[in-house]
Structure 1
């Protein structure tokens, strides 16, 4: 395989080929969650950063389609975002905040005192796509991910069903000194892999979308 002409687009295309090759083995080995994380660390983190106009390798003329696509995600709700390939499992996704210590999942609370994983604390349906993606990306980079079982507990040895992605809520150092709160996104292994596939398809198809638009 040759050197890509547009790395931010061709890289997820190649990663998608690898996902197709390896997914069956991951399922048979009951490693679907870890497989999804492995793929996401590459498919989400690298293209997401390369699509930004602030990236030092950004070419304003060449990459205008990438920037426009990324900006579109600031207007679309996550569960209705243009990158989905087929309808997402909306019931499998949750977002909330954790305003207390993160080392005890059972004791997680949001700002109103509700358990962070409760139905009442879930705000995923109101969140814009770029905000949810930022939580996922920020969690992947330092490994702020917790595996949870079917009861949404972190019990060693139990079968993984959910994954929790944690991102610091405070934006500046002064805020971090005053409090330690997190944004948390939780989803299932299956729903997360569906997202990873969808994202890779969407980013990989941006150049094709542009060519179609130019000939219309």
Structure 2
């Protein structure tokens, strides 16, 4: 593959190809072995999630900025991204959403805890265990959901968690928590999105399929060699997905 014609479409597609081809060759996070599957999944997801937001959505909404503007390359795709990552519509209506996310918030009060040192606070973890956390995630605006995920990935706001969704040093990684503030300058609240590794992998598949589907104009598809998503190929059974996450 050469230089991308449409960076925000092709690079996520290439990154996801790496995920499909290489994920099963990595070691599990057991014993003394490094948690390479978790790290690889997280690393590959950065361009998949961030690029369409940074180079399509942001330029679509701020057309005066042009220095890295992929929005002009495919108007249909840019419009679709803008509609899907809606400022007000609930994220569960978006094509890229999967219903396994959990959401919680933490007020600053006298100060935020240092999550790098203490990990996921137990009161937040307990709330994330509740059915309400699933509903709260579904009812986030698509824009808020994507901002939390984008900010966490871009600024290192990610926690590795065990199978119970807790920070536990040395335990196999089975979940992620994505953490973002409500404001970059004077934050008053932390936002938490938690998800199992297996479900995060499924979300990335859905995200890439969504981008490809919205970009399927005849000329672009021919120029870039895009193919319609193969439902049989992209469907991962729960049993198989659980096995790959271990």
Q: TM-score, normalised by structure 2?
A: 0.69
- In structure 2, what is the equivalent of residue 166 of structure 1? 179
Q: 1:137 deviation in Å? A: 0.6
- In structure 1, what is the equivalent of residue 7 of structure 2? 7
CA distance in 2, matches of 1:59, 1:7: 7
Q: 1:115-168 CA deviation, whole Å, 9 max, x = no partner?
A: 542416511121132321111110011111111112322111112121110001
Alignment match of 2:202 (pick from 183, 194, 199): 194
Contact 1:148 1:154 in 2 (8 A): yes
- In structure 2, what is the equivalent of residue 22 of structure 1? 22
C-alpha RMSD of matched pairs (Å): 2.6
The secondary structure found in structure 1 opposite 2:128 is coil
Distance 1:156 1:61, change over 3 A: closer
Unaligned runs of 5+ in 1: none
Contact 2:6 2:70 in 1 (8 A): no
Alignment match of 1:96 (pick from 81, 99, 104): 104
The secondary structure found in structure 2 opposite 1:153 is coil
Contact 1:148 1:160 in 2 (8 A): yes
Distance 1:159 1:61, change over 3 A: closer
Does the alignment pair 1:140 with 2:177?
Answer: no
CA distance in 1, matches of 2:14, 2:107: 39
Unaligned runs of 5+ in 2: 30-35, 220-246
Alignment match of 1:64 (pick from 75, 88, 91): 75
Does the alignment pair 1:45 with 2:53?
Answer: no
The secondary structure found in structure 2 opposite 1:141 is helix
The secondary structure found in structure 2 opposite 1:163 is strand
Contact 1:168 1:182 in 2 (8 A): yes
Q: 1:64-99 CA deviation, whole Å, 9 max, x = no partner?
A: 223211222216533342135xxx3x2x31011022
Q: How many residues align?
A: 196
Distance 1:148 1:59, change over 3 A: closer
Q: Higher RCO, 1 or 2 (CA under 8 Å, sep at least 6)?
A: 1
Q: 1:40-70 CA deviation, whole Å, 9 max, x = no partner?
A: 1111112221112235232665332232112
CA distance in 2, matches of 1:42, 1:61: 19
- In structure 1, what is the equivalent of residue 228 of structure 2? none
Deviating more after overlay: 138-147 vs 73-82? 73-82
